[in-house]
Structure 1
Amino acid sequence: MATDFESDDLDDIEDHLSDAYGRMRLRTGHARPRARIAHTALGEIGLAEVRFGFGMDYAVEPTGTLTLGSVHGGVIPRHTAGLHESCLDAGDVALFAQPDQPCAGRHQDLCYTLVSLPPRLLDRVAATAPGRRPAPLRFLGSRPVSPAAGRHLRRTLAYLSATVSDDPEFAAQPLVAANCGQLLAASVLAAFPSTALVDPSAADRRDARTATVRRALAYMEEHADSPVTAADIAAAAHVTVRTLQYAFRRHLDTTPLTHLRRMRLGRAHAELRAAHPAQGVTVTAVAARWGFLQPGRFAAAYRRAYGVPPSHTLRQVP
């Protein structure tokens, strides 16, 4: 659900932002500090398109969420969060604050996308199995590790914003929202330096057996219609996420989530075969129900797997 806010009263703006993101203090010398904010939600992700038509100083208390932003226009000459200080211009993307950090700074005529996500969303991508959990995930810098990583994250944020604005009903499908959350979490972990462990250890290699794969496949078959993360599958197989990934590469030459997408593609194929065109079933609805974020990519994957477009299968009366 989208929530729009517009005001030129600084107290109203401060109250609105405090309600949405946690207590903050704003200061400006501008006579009419106009702000426009459009809030939307995509599963556990909070998205906001923000425009401040004035310059101001801000101080924000810890929010309990990871906050990042993609700047479209204006400038942030100074932003400080923890030990990290940034100067951001149009085209930049950065971590604004970790869950337990305050942040402060100054901006001028700013237009940007603000994204918040709970730490548990990152944990589901980076976590290990119960009993082998590493120290809490921490980010070691607020800027992307490379220009390419920054561009990829910026494109991901733009894609998620477009997914919500173009078709809210599609974005509200449980598997779509869950896949969007995993996509964002994986993109954030890839973009910023952190304490996440991604390379398999000697113990991970030892545990990457065929029995691990069998347990994982059984869990995936049973839960293909539910929001599932790599951490969920690893816990069901009694191994770490890294062990799970290594086992799938070793024995199936793929990744767990890629294999899960193939399973869901098969379920979508079966649903299209069973549907009657007169029932009002559409390819887009079936794709969304099985968690495919882009109908065009779903159609391309379907054609590669089954030799025909999904619409052809739907038109064939069973």
Structure 2
Amino acid sequence: MGTLVFDSDDLERTEDFLSKAYAKMRIGSSTPSASRAQIRRDTVASISVDELDLDFDMSYSVTPLGRICLCVVHAGTIEDHVFPGVEDAFGPGDVVSFAPPDLPYSGRIRAARYNITMLDPALLSQVAATVDQRTPQPVRLTGHRPHSAAAAGHLRRTINFVRDHALADPAIADQPLVQATVSQLLAGSVLAAFPNTALTDPTASDRGDAHPGTLQRALSHIDDHAAEPLTVADIAAAAHVSVRALQYAFRRHLDTTPMAYVRRVRLAHAHHDLATADPGTTTVTDIATRWGFFHPARFAALYRETYRTAPSATLHS
């Protein structure tokens, strides 16, 4: 976890900072009398969330980032944005993927405030899979705009949620399970928002693999590794089946998802820790974040729904 703040009206310094923060780029300004750039970056695991405020018009030309780069425009415009096969412009409220990780892009920013969220493309394959599991291919996005306004809104809210609740407090963001939870939450939201190559419906082979033995292997792995970062791909590998077969097995036999079951197991561990902890030296937040729950109100609601009491009551009982 780290926080980086940049504030400068020197265009060369801004270019140097942006080149180090993203990828090698050249920038230019058509308004040399105004060139102030304010940037805040928060990072956790394989994710970075930046808020940028540029009070000038800037052109940019960027080499491939090697990462998925999402942009949410708050104010101003981004024009003439180009990468191979695409030319577009974005305004307030737009949520886009700037370019595939392996392609360069260029464009112009006109006095804009915007969010840039970047994540490792490998995260997509931790929560979904393509057709052939024997020779798996990385999951990738096939469009740069969300498939609906509702999907864009959901992704925008997820980014804000991650920024405001997971990254705002270093003590929370430093927890390994929080980092894993945040990464999977964001990756899942990206796949839900953009067209992509992931296949979610089980094949005939997947349905055949979704038997009780598969479920038992998965449950045992979760129980044994609940205190460690876990992905759907990890659990599927331990159960010797595809991601889709694993998801179908949980839906068929338990009417839930693998990660919902992981959350249930971790909640039980949190309940145990609250019941046995010293309230003089431990807080509810300490225990919740230790088990991957980084939003206090949501943890309290889930805990109350499951145990019919507040987590603070268990801690102090």
Q: What TM-score, normalized by structure 2, do the two folds share?
A: 0.96
Partner of residue 113, structure 2: 111
Partner of 1:307: 308
Contact 2:130 2:198 in 1 (8 A): no
Of the three residues 88, 91, 96, the one matched with 1:89 is: 91
What is the aligned partner in structure 1 of residue 284 from structure 2? 283
Gaps of 5+ in 1: none
Tell me what 1:174 maps to.
176
By how many angstroms is 1:132 displaced?
A: 2.1
Instruction: Output the CA distance in 2 between the equivalents of 1:294 and 1:169.
Output: 13
User: Identity of paired residues, percent?
Assistant: 49
Q: 143, 149, 167: which is aligned to 1:141?
A: 143
Ranges in structure 2 where 5+ consecutive residues have no aligned partner:
none
- Deviations along 1:193-243, one digit per CA (max 9) or x if unpaired, are 011111111111111010000000010001101110000000100111110
CA distance in 2 between counterparts of 1:139 and 1:80 reads 17
CA distance in 1, matches of 2:173, 2:181: 10
In structure 1, what is the Cα distance between the partners aligned to 2:249 and 2:167? 38
Instruction: Give the CA RMSD over aligned residues.
Output: 1.5
The letter of the residue matching 2:179 is A
SS of structure 1 residue aligned to 2:42:
strand
Does structure 1 residue 33 correspond to structure 2 residue 22? no
Alpha-carbon distance in 2 for matches of 1:165, 1:231? 25
Q: Is 1:11 aligned to residue 12 of structure 2?
A: yes
Report the residue type matching 2:71 in the other structure: G
Paired residue for 1:98?
100
Which letter does structure 2 place at the counterpart of 1:257? M
The one of 44, 47, 60 equivalent to 1:45 is: 47
The residue number in structure 1 matching 2:217 is 215
2:204 to 202, 209, 232: 202
Instruction: Quote the Cα distance in structure 2 between the aligned partners of 1:296 and 1:277.
Output: 19
Name the SS for the 2:138 alignment partner: coil
TM normalised by structure 1 equals 0.95
Runs of 4+ residues over 4 Å off in structure 1: 128-131
**Amino acid in structure 2 at the alignment position of 1:26:** I
CA shift for structure 1 position 69: 0.9
8 Å contact from structure 1 (residues 78, 88) kept in 2: no
C-alpha contact (below 8 Å) 1:129/1:239 kept by paired residues: no
Contact 1:129–1:238 under 8 Å retained in 2:
no
- Deviation for aligned residue 1:164: 4.5
Q: Shift of residue 98 of structure 1?
A: 1.7
- Tell me, what secondary structure is at the counterpart of 1:135? coil
2-structure distance, mates of 1:104, 1:128: 30
Q: Is the 8 A contact 2:130 2:139 kept in 1?
A: no
Does the 8 Å contact 1:84/1:141 carry over to 2? no
Give a deviation string over 1:40-94, Cα, whole Å, max 9, x none: 1022101111111111211100011111111111111221233222211111110
Deviation at 1:174, TM superposition (A): 0.9
